[in-house]
């Protein structure tokens, strides 16, 4: 069996003395592992770094086998991302989320979101917004998507301010005012077409929102804990945004 695809490297682990098992998120074949012979060589090690976009040829005698990868670089993102704590923690969060999906299950939308996210993952001002949008997309792909477009009680699309912790549906100010202590805040930038750039409070609320539903629907039912890399990412991104604002203030 053989197929040709493109992928983004999520991680590697050594296999024997010279080879490596490489985990990629691919366009058509989902999260997929393969053996790279000579993957620990001086030539291949820079190519097989997390975050790099690669061209893949996978071969195996049977579909259920691990198989081997032939790997060629397309975009060497790792060289840029390795210098950023925000980016490295972000990559770890993304990989942890993708491992919640069945192996070899295609998710083209997630691949496209991941590709867009990698381009700005080393920018603290953009990385947090991109990652929380990736988490929203992940919840949707896992079957626990949030409905943030209209009020669960009235059906209206305006003045949405809360999210029901039970249904994951938006609630308007009017419908939710009496129950606001039991509802989750809805950051407006998460609404489709809002055109709003989030401030720190909105980002904190957005990560609290996605974190709540990951815990309720994914982590607790599977006996898992939130990945430590998520907290590390949030702290690094917050620190990075603070430094960026201080630099901007000094420059002005």
pLDDT in tens, 79-112: 999 999 999 999 999 999 999 999 999 999 999 9
* pTM for the structure as a whole: 0.93
**Structural contact between residues 158 and 170, judged by C-beta atoms closer than 8 angstroms:** no
Taking only the tens place, the pLDDT of each residue in 32-87 is 999 999 999 999 999 999 999 999 999 999 999 999 999 999 999 999 999 999 99
Strands (E), the chain: 2-15, 19-26, 30-36, 53-59, 68-75, 160-163, 170-172, 184-185
**Residue 251 confidence class, pLDDT cut points 50, 70, 90:** low
C-alpha span between 183 and 239 (Å, rounded): 29
C-alpha span between 74 and 93 (Å, rounded): 23
C-alpha span between 43 and 103 (Å, rounded): 28
Distances (CA, A) of 93 to 11, 76, 136: 12, 20, 13
Nearest to 241 by CA among 142, 100, 123: 123
Show the domains of the chain with their CATH numbers.
2-76 (2.40.50.140), 83-148+186-251 (no CATH)
What distance, in Å, lies between the first and last C-alpha atoms of the chain?
A: 60
10 Å CB burial of residue 243 (0-12, 13-18, 19+) is exposed
């Amino acid at each position: 069996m053989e197929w040709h695809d493109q992928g983004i490297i999520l991680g590697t682990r050594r296999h024997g003395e010279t080879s490596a098992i490489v985990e990629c998120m691919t366009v058509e074949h989902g999260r997929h592992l393969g053996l790279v012979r000579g993957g620990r060589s001086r030539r291949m090690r820079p190519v097989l770094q997390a975050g790099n976009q690669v061209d893949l040829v996978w071969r195996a005698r049977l579909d259920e086998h691990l198989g081997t990868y032939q790997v060629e670089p397309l975009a060497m993102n790792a060289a840029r991302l390795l210098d950023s704590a925000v980016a490295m923690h972000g990559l770890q969060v993304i990989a942890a989320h993708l491992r919640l999906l069945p192996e070899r299950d295609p998710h083209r939308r997630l691949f496209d979101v991941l590709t867009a996210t990698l381009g700005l993952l080393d920018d603290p001002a953009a990385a947090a917004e991109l990652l929380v949008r990736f988490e929203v997309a992940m919840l949707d792909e896992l079957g626990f998507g949030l409905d943030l477009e209209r009020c669960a009680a009235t059906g209206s699309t305006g003045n949405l301010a809360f999210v029901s912790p039970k249904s994951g549906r938006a609630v308007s100010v009017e419908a939710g005012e009496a129950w606001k202590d039991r509802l989750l805040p809805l950051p407006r930038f998460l609404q489709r077409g809002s055109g709003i750039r989030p401030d720190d409070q909105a980002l904190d609320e957005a990560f609290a929102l996605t974190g709540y539903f990951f815990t309720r629907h994914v982590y607790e039912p599977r006996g898992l804990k939130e990945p430590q890399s998520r907290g590390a990412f949030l702290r690094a991104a917050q620190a990075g945004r603070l430094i960026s604002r201080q630099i901007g203030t000094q420059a002005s």
